[in-house]
Amino acid sequence: MSVLIVGSTALDSIKTPKAENPKLLGGSASHAAVAASFFSRVKMVGVVGNDFPRRYLDLYRRHKIDLEGLQILTGKTFHWSGEYEINMNNRRTLLTELGVFETFNPTLPKSYQASEFVLLANIAPALQHHVLNQMRRPKFVVADTMDLWLNIALPDLLKLIKRLDGFVLNDSEAHQLTKEDNVFKAMKKIHQLGPKYVIIKKGSHGSILSGPRGFFICPAYPLHSVVDPTGAGDSFVGGMMGYLATSRGSIDNNIRRAMIYGSVTASFCCEGFGLTCTTRVKRSQIDRRVKELEKLTRF
């Protein structure tokens, strides 16, 4: 089984207190697709400009990511530039150049339309709708989002949430959406908006699932050094969806373990700039960290 992933495909210029890295491969779809590729085949939907480095296309291909849905248009690739503060928790956007993203109209190749697992990675909710409208009968649809869409596209987002099986957002976004300080009450309110599965990401504090079998408290892998957290949330949800797409049995039986795999994939993402660490990882290293997490949480 494969996962269809739509989201942004970008060049990220990332500044941290220790280093500066211009025009790395980034974007929610890139991070999610590479993460998912450890577990399943990935069909990616996105757009890049004709300035998009060939080596990044090769990188996608090395991860066996199906690029039939990746449009290459005349113009510039979406470019985001951001800076992290010393503790790596706060970041500010220095620059956003939409480029070819401004007029992006994702059209799904025929071969994509029957995908059963769909990840609508962070991107404008209108585009997430547009992709979902082209799907035949997806089995499990999950969307991620960001504060920007809560601020400028809330009606679109609320309509999207109704159509989802699972919705993933971080704790501050959950607070913004529900006006609820308590994370468990916030999850209850989000269920009322539609999704059966609600996942709240808490960065280095892990994540929480609320689903038909109740809550699951998912730990983050203990990292002694965070080089660049950009894309960690996308890697988490990408890894989770990739794992789910190839697991036998029900979503309910697999989703906890899928979150753990997502969490571990995200941990590798944090250990290098952009995708540099994630792309070097082997499946066996992921499995090893999953085993470690089992030990770290057992009592």
Interface residues toward a second copy, by CB under 8 A: 86-88, 181-185, 188, 202, 204-206, 208, 214-219, 222-226, 256-257, 259-260, 294-299
Closer Cβ to a second copy, 61 or 291, answer by number? 291
Q: What's the closest the beta carbon of residue 205 comes to a second copy, in angstroms?
A: 4
CB of 240 to a second copy, least distance (A): 12
Q: Which is nearer to a second copy, 127 or 220 (CB)?
A: 220
For a second copy, the closer CB: 93 or 182: 182
Task: Pick the closer one to a second copy by CB: 1 or 223.
Answer: 223
Taking the complex as a whole, the smallest distance from the CB of residue 209 to a second copy amounts, in Å, to 10
Q: Given the complex with a second copy, which of 74 and 225 has the nearer CB atom?
A: 225
CB of 260 to a second copy, least distance (A): 5
* Nearest-approach distance from CB 144 to a second copy, in angstroms: 21
Output 194 or 219, the one with its CB closest to a second copy: 219
As measured in angstroms, the least distance from the Cβ of 63 to a second copy is 26
The three state secondary structure string of the chain is CEEEEECCCEEEEEECCCCEEEEEEECHHHHHHHHHHCCCEEEEEEEEECCCCHHHHHHHHHCCEEEEEEEEECCCCCEEEEEECCCCCCEEEEEEECHHHHHCCCCCCHHHCCCCEEEECCCCHHHHHHHHHCCCCCCEEEEECCHHHHHHCHHHHHHHHHCCCEEEEEHHHHHHHHCCCCHHHHHHHHHHCCCCEEEEECHHHCEEEEECCEEEEECCCCCCCCCCCCCHHHHHHHHHHHHHHCCCCCHHHHHHHHHHHHHHHHHHHHCCCCCCCHHHCCHHHHHHHHHHHHHHHCC
